[in-house]
Amino acid sequence: MILNPTDRVYLQPDCFVERPHDLDGRVARVGQSMLWFTAWRVIWRGAAGGKRTGEALVPVEAIDSWLASQSDPVREHSARQIANVSAPRTPLTLGERTIRLDEPRVIGILNFTPDSFSDGGRFNNDAQAAAEAGFEMAQAGAAIVDIGGESTRPGAKLVWEGDEIGRVVPVIEKLARGGTAVSIDTRKAGVMEAALAAGATLVNDISALLYDDRALEVVTKADCPVVLMHAPSQSSDPHADAIYDDVLLDVFDWLDARIEAVVAAGVNRSRIIVDPGIGFGKSVQQNLALTNGLALLHALGCPILYGASRKRMIGAIDNEAPADARLGGSIALHLTAVQAGVQLIRAHDVGETVQALKTWRALRDAALVG
């Protein structure tokens, strides 16, 4: 198929195989991961967006011929995505720790809030108890502990910056002194500054540095890794204004544009992690579509963080199961994500998630040597 030069084109790795043996020239690899695939799913739509116009599978060995048949704009855009998929992902440098991304890693969720949807109020304002929970996550295998002092669930109240700092800083200090890699889950520049000064080494911002006018400056100055998450709104309610033509392609385009803006402002591209924002202004069906299409996000050229732990979509699927009864659904979604090549899994249940990923890794190893 010959695409219109003005079409938006998207190249998604597809048809994954367990082992590349005897498939020279017929498989491509996602970065330096343990995932190989035999075809590209080429998706296209009009220049103005809207619904996808069409899609087709192109075998890996035929992709160069397909590119040669296209117009310069389509060929150049497609070639950039192909290069992004195959490029190695730079290890995360978090203080004195280096976290390689050649296999999936777990980020433990530590909410020090009274009203988070799953574990709000768990620590009853006891920073020592929260820190001990963080140490337990690290001991259970979490590569990073992500601490937040403000709930962003639907309907949650906005927290004053000073209160948020007062919640997270004592916990971060304890964890950092103990050698744990810590990220700060916040959208406020003042909280970022205080957390980084206390020992956090990564910023996880659900607004992709758009909520606070100073946030981009803080991250640029700190030269720290940053998670840019998609949400339909960067206002006090990140769930508002959720309108999509095609949720997977719309999220891809939004993240692509945001990466370019952040890089232009001075953040090194190797420091950027992307998150599709599961559960943020998205229906159950849209969350499932994003999860099924996660492999497309490799074409952005950045590590991918996926977080569906205990989220509402699992309850909607399973007879309104409460948040503390969603472990099975969380594991299923997270394994689907790593099978698509996601490098970072954000989870409440660290030990169980690490065990699931170890089992997945053992299966991959067995396939490669079998």
Contacts of 215 (CB under 8 A, 6+ apart): 187, 188, 189, 192, 203, 205, 207, 209
- For the chain, how big is the Rg over CA atoms in Å? 20
2 domain-assigned = no
| The total number of residues written for the chain in this structure | 370
- pLDDT on residue 153: 75
- pLDDT on residue 60: 98
Instruction: Count Cα neighbours of 191 within 13 Å in the Cβ-side half-sphere.
Output: 28
Q: Is 10 helix (H, G, I), strand (E, B) or coil?
A: strand
How many C-beta atoms lie closer than 10 Å to residue 66's C-beta? 20
3 domain-assigned = no
Same domain, 66 and 118: no
Q: How is residue 323 written in tokens? A: 């948040």
Same domain, 317 and 216: yes
Same domain, 154 and 209: yes
Same domain, 309 and 248: yes
Q: What is the pLDDT of residues 244-264, one digit of tens each?
A: 999 999 999 999 999 999 999
Same domain, 355 and 277: yes
How many C-beta atoms lie closer than 10 Å to residue 352's C-beta? 16
Q: Is 177 exposed, middle or buried (0-12, 13-18, 19+ CB in 10 A)?
A: exposed
Closest CA to 117 of 334, 277, 324, 281: 324
Q: Is 346 a catalytic residue?
A: yes
71 domain-assigned = yes
Q: How is residue 239 written in tokens? A: 């769930």
Q: What angle do CA 42, 46, 48 make, to 5 degrees?
A: 135
Domain boundary among 86, 110, 137: 86
266 domain-assigned = yes
- pLDDT on residue 123: 65
Same domain, 18 and 159: no
Same domain, 106 and 39: no
Number of domains in the chain: 2
133 domain-assigned = yes
DSSP H or E segment with residue 332: helix 327-339
255 secondary structure, DSSP code = H
Same domain, 16 and 115: no
Are the C-beta atoms of residues 55 and 16 closer than 8 Å to each other? no
- pLDDT on residue 370: 72
Are the C-beta atoms of residues 58 and 39 closer than 8 Å to each other? yes
Domain boundary among 86, 114, 137: 86
211 secondary structure, DSSP code = S
Are the C-beta atoms of residues 290 and 247 closer than 8 Å to each other? yes
User: Taking the model in full, what pTM does it have?
Assistant: 0.95
Q: How is residue 274 written in tokens? A: 């992307």
Tell me the mean pLDDT per 10 residues along the chain, length 370.
Answer: 94 96 93 96 96 97 97 97 97 95 96 63 78 96 96 80 94 96 97 98 97 97 98 88 95 98 97 97 97 98 97 95 95 98 98 98 91
Q: Is 94 helix (H, G, I), strand (E, B) or coil?
A: strand
In which domain, by residue range, is 55 found? 8-86
Give the CATH number for residue 201: 3.20.20.20
1 domain-assigned = no
Same domain, 118 and 68: no
358 domain-assigned = yes
Q: Is 311 a catalytic residue?
A: yes
Same domain, 155 and 301: yes
CA pair distance 34, 188, nearest whole angstrom: 36
Question: What is the identity of the amino acid at 101?
Answer: L
Domain boundary among 86, 101, 130: 86
CA pair distance 231, 255, nearest whole angstrom: 10
Same domain, 152 and 282: yes
299 domain-assigned = yes
CA pair distance 345, 339, nearest whole angstrom: 12
Q: What is the pLDDT of residues 168-206, one digit of tens each?
A: 999 999 999 999 999 999 999 999 999 999 999 999 999
Same domain, 257 and 293: yes
**Annotated catalytic residue, options 271, 312, 326, 346:** 346
Angle subtended by helix axes 327-339 and 284-292, to nearest 10: 40
CA pair distance 204, 156, nearest whole angstrom: 18
CA pair distance 280, 346, nearest whole angstrom: 15
**Annotated catalytic residue, options 45, 187, 311, 326:** 311
CA pair distance 93, 138, nearest whole angstrom: 17
